Structure formats: C-alpha cells, structure tokens
C-alpha cells in the first residue's frame, strides 16, 4: 500500500480543518450537547479547560506513521470521530479510507458501527453502506474476534467513547479485543478520549463469582479511568486469559485533567442522549435490575425512573414508556408509571443510592422488586442484601471504603492524567 506519510498528513489536516458537504454539524448551544473542540491558537496561552482538550483521534501526526504499510482493523462506532475547529467532525474510518489507509475490517461493539441498535439487541455482521468495508459484530454470540477474523491484520485501532461505568459494555469489548490480539501477536493502538465521569470512583468492587459481560474485572461501578488507562490496567494486572499481555500503544489526550467537565457531541449509545443522562447513568442503571423503568421508551432516558408498582402518592411524576428508536420493547411499555423526574437536578459526583432505596421501600411488592440482573450490575450480592435489610445509603456506601481504597492503589499505577 505504501502511502506517503507527508502527503496524507497534509490531506488529513485539510479534512480536519475545512468543512465539506459530507461533514456532520456538531450540536451546541446548551450544556447537554456542547462539543469540546481544541482552540489551538490560544491553547498554550490560557489555563487549561475542556475546550483545549485534544483527543487521541485528532493527533494524526502521532498515529498516521504507525499505520503506514500495515493492514488495519478498527474497533469503532458512531463516536469514533475527528473533530474540526469549526465544530464539525468526520468519522475516523471515513477519513482513513479517504487517505487510502489499508483498512481490512471494522469491528462493531454493542449498538453497532453507526450506533443504531438497541441495548442488548443482536448486532449482525454486514457491509458498511458508505465505505463498503466488512463489519464484524462484537456483540451477541461473537464477543471476541476469532483468529480467522483477525487473519491478515497487522494492527488493531480501538477508538470508542466510554462513559466510565463498569457495566457499560465497551470496556468489556476492549478486554476481548486485547485478549484476541495477544493470542495472535497483533498490536493494539488506542486513541484515547476523556471520561465524562472520570472525576471520581465509587461503588462496590466486582466479585469474581459475578463476572459477566456487564462486569469483567475487580473494579468499582465508577472506575474513574479513560479507555487508555483502563487498557493499561488490564494489561498490567494480567487480567487477560492465561495472564497474556498484548502489545499496547495509547495516544493520550492532550491538555486533559480528569476533573474538567467534558460534554459529548455524539450520543455514546441510543439511550444516553445528553450530559445529564450520562452523569446519572451510573446511579440509575441499577434500576435495570429491578421492576422499575429508568426512562427507556421516553425522551428522558436515564433521567427519570418509575413503575406502575410505586406509591403514586409519594411518586407524583407520571409517564408512559412507549416503543421508540432507542427502545423497541421498553419495560412497562404502554403502562402508566409513577416515579421521579431527575432531568433538572444537579447530577451527583457519587453513586446515589437514595433513589433506589426509596423505590424499594415504597413498591407494592418488595419480593418482586429485584430481578436476577441486579447482582450482575452490582457485581456483588451484598448490595441487594443490604437494601433488603433496610440499611441506609450512608451505611452501605461506608461498606465500600476498604475496597475502594485498595482499588485506588492499583489504579494509581496506570493513570495518564492528573
């Protein structure tokens, strides 16, 4: 293939900085949809803020040389974009195809390559209509690339926006990609992105007995790491099968501090439409393991919760979940739910258990409140036992202290950002 690095770096610079007909305009104007784009002219003259952040995908001068002469596989979805200075973006895959980078396959996680599939929906293999590249699903039965699917690939590029919660499955896909690449001696290149929930860690540590695709490693619910940092932890702690380690390179974010607010221009999945949903997701996702709806089937996904079985005198907010683009079969579909609207509250920088406990204590039938999925989400059976025993949120959170302190010691070895 042998493309000229200088020529293509210049071309990609043009792609990144000049608007063209195929570009997508980023949402902006309010706090929920703001895009964080580097303002390079003043980046070094003022105090770092979220607009100064340069994500890994934008650092083409650092990773284009690593792709030269190689056959590439890319793990990507709708968030895998290169931002422009005029608040538009181009998809990473589309940009690299235009540069004649030798892409062999695109590997798609949960929700698919272009991000249209429901949570839990089987994503099928296929062909991308725009680039004509083969799409290999990493969700459903095939969560790990096979040796056959990796045949003829020299390097895997991983570029996906995460939201920093253990049960958000993109980091599970990361594990399996790294494991498959380690087995086949294929290097992995990660283009890092900020974590919008990266300023804190919280929650119970996952116990090995409760490992699943929504929780694979002994980390808390909110891990406070970027994709690149988490990959380094997987490698360094030898969490891959048989203690394997893959050859790993991380293109780090520039000017990023984990306490900087980071707003996502593109929905990371169909039911996380804005900043508020992303901030509330670690707390409200616990309702996925109960008979309470967490906003799927509404326009306020992970910003409201409710159930036909909650006390309507105490839970005055009413809504009816219906099938929509993000949820074909939402919980309590077409049934009136009583609950709370959290879309206007200040999202906490900790796991809020009060909402979960209040719902449990005021449901029609406590024995029907939890389902089998709850323990997988929690990563431990203790949380359900504590709630059923009537413990308050402060007492439960205090029980996580030792586990979190132990995790912080491990986490500190792999952090890339202050």
Which residues of the chain fall short of a pLDDT of 50?
A: 1-3, 5-6, 10-11, 14-47, 120-122
Nearest one of 224, 82, 207, 210 to 157, comparing CA atoms: 82
pLDDT (tens digit per residue) in 11-34:
455 444 433 333 444 443 333 222
Nearest one of 294, 179, 292 to 244, comparing CA atoms: 179
pLDDT computed for residue 31 by the predictor: 32
Do 223 and 166 contact (CB within 8 A), yes or no? Answer: yes
Residue with tokens 């290097």, as numbered in its chain: 187
SS3 83: strand
Q: Where do the H-state alpha helices sit in 315-392?
A: 354-361, 373-378, 382-388
Residue with tokens 């439409």, as numbered in its chain: 273
Residue with tokens 């049960």, as numbered in its chain: 167
Q: What is the DSSP letter of 94?
A: H
CB burial of 388-413 (b: ≥16 within 10 Å; e: otherwise) equals eeebebeebbeebeebbeebeeebee
Domain residue ranges of the chain, discontinuous segments joined by +: 50-251, 275-380
Do 173 and 111 contact (CB within 8 A), yes or no? Answer: no
Do 82 and 57 contact (CB within 8 A), yes or no? Answer: yes
pLDDT computed for residue 119 by the predictor: 52
Do 377 and 288 contact (CB within 8 A), yes or no? Answer: yes
pLDDT computed for residue 235 by the predictor: 98
Do 193 and 161 contact (CB within 8 A), yes or no? Answer: yes
Q: Looking at domain 50-251, which CATH architecture does it have?
A: 3-Layer(aba) Sandwich (3.40)
The separation between CA 236 and the C-alpha centre of its own chain, rounded to angstroms, equals 21
Q: What does DSSP say about strands 103-108 and 72-76: parallel, antiparallel, or unpaired?
A: parallel
pLDDT computed for residue 12 by the predictor: 52
How far apart are alpha carbons 112 and 134 in whole angstroms?
Answer: 13
Q: Is the pTM of this model over 0.75?
A: yes
């Amino acid at each position: 293939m042998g493309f000229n690095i200088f020529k293509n770096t210049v071309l990609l610079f043009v792609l990144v900085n000049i608007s063209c007909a195929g570009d997508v305009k980023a949402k902006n104007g309010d706090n929920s949809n703001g895009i964080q784009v580097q303002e390079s002219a003043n980046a070094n003259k003022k105090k770092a803020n979220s607009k100064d952040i340069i994500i890994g995908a934008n650092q083409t001068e650092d990773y284009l040389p690593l792709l030269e002469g190689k056959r590439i596989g890319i793990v990507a979805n709708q968030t895998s974009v290169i931002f422009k200075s005029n608040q538009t973006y181009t998809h990473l895959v589309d940009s690299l195809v235009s540069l004649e980078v030798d892409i062999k396959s695109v590997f798609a996680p949960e929700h698919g390559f272009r991000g249209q599939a429901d949570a839990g929906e089987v994503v099928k293999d296929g062909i991308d209509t725009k680039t004509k590249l083969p799409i290999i699903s990493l969700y459903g039965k095939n969560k790990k690339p096979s040796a056959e699917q990796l045949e003829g690939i020299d390097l895997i590029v991983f570029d996906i926006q995460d939201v920093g919660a253990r049960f958000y499955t993109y980091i599970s896909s990361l594990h399996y990609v790294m494991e498959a690449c380690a087995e086949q001696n294929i290097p992995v290149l990660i283009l890092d992105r900020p974590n919008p929930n990266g300023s804190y860690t919280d929650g119970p540590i996952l116990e090995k007995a409760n490992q699943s695709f929504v929780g694979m490693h002994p980390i808390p619910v909110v891990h406070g790491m970027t994709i690149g940092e988490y990959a380094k932890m997987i490698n360094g702690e030898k969490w891959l099968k048989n203690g394997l380690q893959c050859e790993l390179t991380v293109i780090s974010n520039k000017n990023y501090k984990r306490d900087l607010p980071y707003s996502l221009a593109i929905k990371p999945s169909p039911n996380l439409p804005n900043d508020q949903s992303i901030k509330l997701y670690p707390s409200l996702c616990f309702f996925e393991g109960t008979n309470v709806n967490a906003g799927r089937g509404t326009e306020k996904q992970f910003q409201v919760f409710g159930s036909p079985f909650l006390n309507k005198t105490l839970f005055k907010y009413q809504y009816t979940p219906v099938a929509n683009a993000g949820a074909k079969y939402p919980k309590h579909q077409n049934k009136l739910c009583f609950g709370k609207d959290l879309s206007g509250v200040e999202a906490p920088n900790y796991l809020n258990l009060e909402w979960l406990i209040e719902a449990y204590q005021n449901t029609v039938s406590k024995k029907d409140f939890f389902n089998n999925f709850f323990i997988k989400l929690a990563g431990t059976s203790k949380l359900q036992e504590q709630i059923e025993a009537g413990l308050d949120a402060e007492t439960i959170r205090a029980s996580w202290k030792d586990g979190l302190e132990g995790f912080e010691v491990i986490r500190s070895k792999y952090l890339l950002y202050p």
